[in-house]
Amino acid sequence: MTSGLPCPVCEGPDRRGSLERSLRVLAVDDEAPALEDLVYLLRSDPRIAHVEAVTDATKALRVLHRAMDAGQPLDAVFLDIRMPGLDGLDLARVLSRFAQPPPIVFVTAHQQPAVEAFELKALDYLLKPVRQERLAESVHRIVHEVWDSKSAADQAAPPAPQPAGGTPPEVGDEVIPVELGGVTRFIRLADIRYVEAHGDYARLHTATGSGLVRAALNGLEERWRSAGFVRIHRSHLVSLGHIDEMRLEDGHLSVTIGGAVLPVSRRHARHLRQLLVRRTKPASVPNAAPPRNGLGS
């Protein structure tokens, strides 16, 4: 593996039917020996079922996004602070913009960043070398955090419907790492105009360029639906808020987004028209003329 550890994913025994092992966590540290020790201690805790280990913040973001796309978000991140490139505090700031940020436990040899760490709402702060009993306290906090979150979600009333094409602020603020010429760049979900399928990857297009993420279009469609994204073709997912024009020519429907003309398949045309009409329909239009070009619902 790239991190130099014996295995990239470390799992406990089969947990089918077991209530004891339930947590899925991520460990991040650029120093292999420290990461090995942390993974060993985490695997030893009976409440943890799955540990994934990476050696830098960029890889951590990829793992977190992959887990969310698979519908199995990780329950917590154990994070070193001083790492080359994007450090632990930088990563924590990025994660704080997630719609549902995972709890963060900082694991470091330095006491100085503790104040800033807790300003970022860290769940706990462990000093190296980590003791098993101190780690157990952190896991106990994670258990309560996870269950409190689940209980709150179960008891919450259904959210008010969002206008078609509207982007809830907490969703639109999600940050996605994309590959661009061998460089990882971070873009906000709200800045994505449309998504194009590229085999096992998806290309995210913004006003300033594009980049690749390893994700299927179906997964992104499901995950970003509440942010106003809609499927218009087997190869394209678009942000309703970024559509400049919809045109019907010779029986073929298309949309224009920032100068790009994208085809709309017959399968998705009716649904797209309905969403756009609802999005732009005024509250009251006396004697409104019928829609032209067959673009009404």
Chain segment 238-297, per-residue pLDDT in tens: 999 999 988 888 888 999 999 999 999 999 988 888 888 776 655 444 444 444 444 443
The model's pLDDT over 197-249, given as tens digits with 9 standing for 90+, comes to 988 888 999 998 888 888 888 889 988 988 899 999 999 999 999 999 888 88
pLDDT band for 7, please (50, 70, 90 cuts): very low
pLDDT greater at residue 251 or residue 1: 251
Least Cα distance to 226 among 286, 173, 283, 153 occurs for 173
pLDDT of 86 reads 87
**Residue 11 pLDDT:** 41
Q: Span 33-41, mean pLDDT?
A: 96
Q: Mean pLDDT over all residues of the chain?
A: 79
What integer pLDDT is reported at residue 165 of this predicted model?
44
CB 192 within 8 Å of CB 203? no
What whole-number percentage of the chain has pLDDT above 70? 75
Phi-psi region of 287 (alpha: psi -120 to 50; beta: other; left: phi over 0): left
- Residue 290's pLDDT is 46
User: In what side-by-side order are the strands of the sheet with 245-249?
Assistant: 245-249, 252-257, 260-264
6 pLDDT above the threshold of 50: no
pLDDT at residue number 22: 83
User: Residue 106 has what pLDDT?
Assistant: 95
Task: Evaluate if residue 25 carries a pLDDT over 70.
Answer: yes
pLDDT digits (tens, 9 = 90+) for 168-204: 444 556 778 776 666 667 788 899 999 999 888 889 9
Sheet holding 23-28, edge to edge: 9-11, 48-54, 23-28, 76-79, 104-108, 124-127
Report how far apart, in Å, the C-alpha atoms of 180 and of each of 53, 64, 183, 219 are. 24, 19, 5, 21
Which pairs count as long-range contacts for 276-281, CB under 8 Å and 24+ apart, including other chains?
A: 276/164, 276/165, 276/240, 276/243, 276/246, 278/163, 278/164, 279/163, 279/164, 279/165, 279/240
Q: Give the per-residue pLDDT at 17.
A: 32
pLDDT digits (tens, 9 = 90+) for 127-160: 999 999 999 999 988 988 887 665 554 444 454 4
72 pLDDT higher than 60: yes
